[in-house]
Amino acid sequence: MLLNLDQREYAKLNDKAYALEKRRLQIELLKLQEDVIRNKRRICIVFEGRDTAGKSSTIKFFAQHLIPKNFNYVQLGIPTKWESKNWFERWEKTIPKEGEINFLDRSWYTRAITEPVMGYCTEDQYRDFMEKVTNWEEELIYSGVEIIKFYFSLSQDQQKRRMKARKESELKYWKLSPNDERIVTKWDAFTLYKEQMFDKTAVNFSPWVVINANNKMIARLSALRFLLNQASYENKKLLKPLAWSKNISNYKVSLEGVEFDNLNYDQYMILTKYTDDI
């Protein structure tokens, strides 16, 4: 099952409305975390997508006001030779314990896309993973782990703009590695493996939730609202999204430390193409 969210409810977004909606959703997420702690639940949230899609910033957005000792940010480095050969054992240590929420900044699904595209695994390792992953996830879910799989999607043009913004930024240039620049050249191969991953692993008991991440602020709100809509927790009070208007003229954006405010929506949309923050 592949879920493409309708994000039109956040189509027009200004700075003040974003801050208000962010606060409302983060309050609900804290309620969910307290329910997880109280009932010893285990929630594992997977964030996948291309480079610059906004996975890390979304996790930061989710976790900003959570109780620190009861959530974990997980970003594993380069696998050892043993880990590469024992892929599922490598990732079993990232599964949350009772009373925890774990946010995975990339996951076991690197073997479904990035590793084969970049030649980091063998064809046999790739095929073995694709054959076993759904059963492995089903066993985790049967044992009580709640798994949510987000895929952050963005256009090729938007990725190029964000890469350029990082490269030219005096504060963020370090985020752009030679490996990042290599993988950008493999757009079509990445797309092919992504579609194969969806076809094989978007199953009813563990669907992929596709988030349009061309605007990072809208993507963050949409992802968090989906999580809260899906989850059950005590004292749940999820309000409908606020209504925003295209006629508002107080949009604001920052480019390399220079703030542009009192923008209309069209001006805002033009400028956000050139920043890696949105």
Q: pLDDT tens digits for 174-190?
A: 776 777 767 778 999 99
* pLDDT at site 163: 80
Residue 272 domain-assigned (yes or no): no
Assign residue 43 the CATH number of its domain. Answer: 3.40.50.300
Residue 251 domain-assigned (yes or no): no
Helix (H) or strand (E) holding 150: strand 145-153
Q: Cα–Cα distance between 113 and 196 in angstroms, integer?
A: 9
Residue 264 domain-assigned (yes or no): no
Provide, rounded to the nearest whole percent, the portion of the chain with pLDDT above 90.
Answer: 63
Q: Would you say 25 and 217 are in contact if contact means Cβ atoms under 8 Å apart?
A: no
The domain tally of the chain equals 1
Q: pLDDT tens digits for 200-217?
A: 999 999 999 999 999 888
* pLDDT at site 168: 79
**Alpha-helical regions (H) of the chain:** 15-38, 55-63, 81-85, 87-92, 114-118, 123-142, 156-168, 178-184, 187-201, 216-230, 265-272
Provide, rounded to the nearest whole percent, the portion of the chain with pLDDT above 70.
Answer: 79
* pLDDT at site 244: 44
Residue 233 scores a pLDDT above 60: yes
What are the φ/ψ torsions at residue 122 (nearest 5 degrees)?
-85, 165
Residue 59 domain-assigned (yes or no): yes
* pLDDT at site 249: 47
Tokens of 216: 């990072």
**Domain limits at 93?**
2-243
Q: pLDDT tens digits for 81-133?
A: 999 999 999 999 999 999 999 999 999 999 999 999 999 999 999 999 999 99
What's the pTM value of the predicted model, to 2 decimals? 0.83
